[in-house]
Structure 1
Amino acid sequence: MKIYKCCGSESITKKYFCAECGSSEFEEKEISDRGTVYSYTKIHVPPAEFAALAPYNVVLVDLDESTAKITTRIKEDVAIGDAVTLKQIDQGAYVYEKIPQ
């Protein structure tokens, strides 16, 4: 997984300009796709295009090797502090799964 860094701020999406300094130059870095559940909510009544997936969790993941966080979808139940890893990217959405303990 790539992250983009400028002025100490890291993001999983490449920006056109840094919000802090206005630079269009970002440091690109490859990091592990593992992280820890920071927050989550369970979706029972989703938008029509995601109806077949319900119920599922929308999870904010604190990435292990970055200060960036990523919003993901996880099918199984999670708890804050669970270790997770990228399973796949589905139609532009990051889909994570719990790491077995």
Structure 2
Amino acid sequence: MKIYSCCGKESITKKYFCSECGKSEFEEKEVSDSGTVYSFTKIHIAPAEFADIAPYNVVLVDLDEADAKVTTRIEEDVKIGDKVNLDRIENDAYIYKRVS
């Protein structure tokens, strides 16, 4: 997974300008996609485009090798502190799974 950083702030999305210094130059590095469940919510009544997969979990994952978080979807039940890994990218969405 690519991480973009400037002024000690890391993100999975490349920004146009750094919120700290205003520069448009970012360091790019590759990090592991593994992480820990930081927060989650279970969606029971989904928007029409996701109704066929409800219920599902929307999860905020704290990445292990970066000071960044990624919003993901996880099909199985999770709890805060669970270890997770990227399973696949589907329609530009990160789909993670719990690590046994």
| Corresponding residue number in structure 1 for 2:75 | 75
Pairs within 5 Å for 1:1-80: 1-80=1-80
> Within 1, Cα distance between the matches of 2:98 and 2:65?
17
For these two proteins, the number of residue pairs brought into alignment is: 100
Scaled by the length of structure 1, the TM-score of the pair is 0.98
Scaled by the length of structure 2, the TM-score of the pair is 0.99
> Within 2, Cα distance between the matches of 1:64 and 1:54?
28
**Identity score, percent:** 72
Aligned to 2:87, the other structure's residue is in SS state strand
Deviation by residue 1:44-95 (Cα, 9 ceiling, x = unmatched): 0000000011010000000000110000000000000000000111111110
Shift of 1:16: 0.8
> Within 2, Cα distance between the matches of 1:87 and 1:52?
20
Letter in structure 1 aligned against 2:31? I
Q: Where in structure 1 do 4 or more consecutive aligned residues deviate above 2 Å? A: none
What residue ranges of structure 1 are gaps of 5+ in the alignment?
Answer: none
- What is the root-mean-square deviation of aligned Cα atoms in Å? 0.4
> Within 2, Cα distance between the matches of 1:46 and 1:68?
27
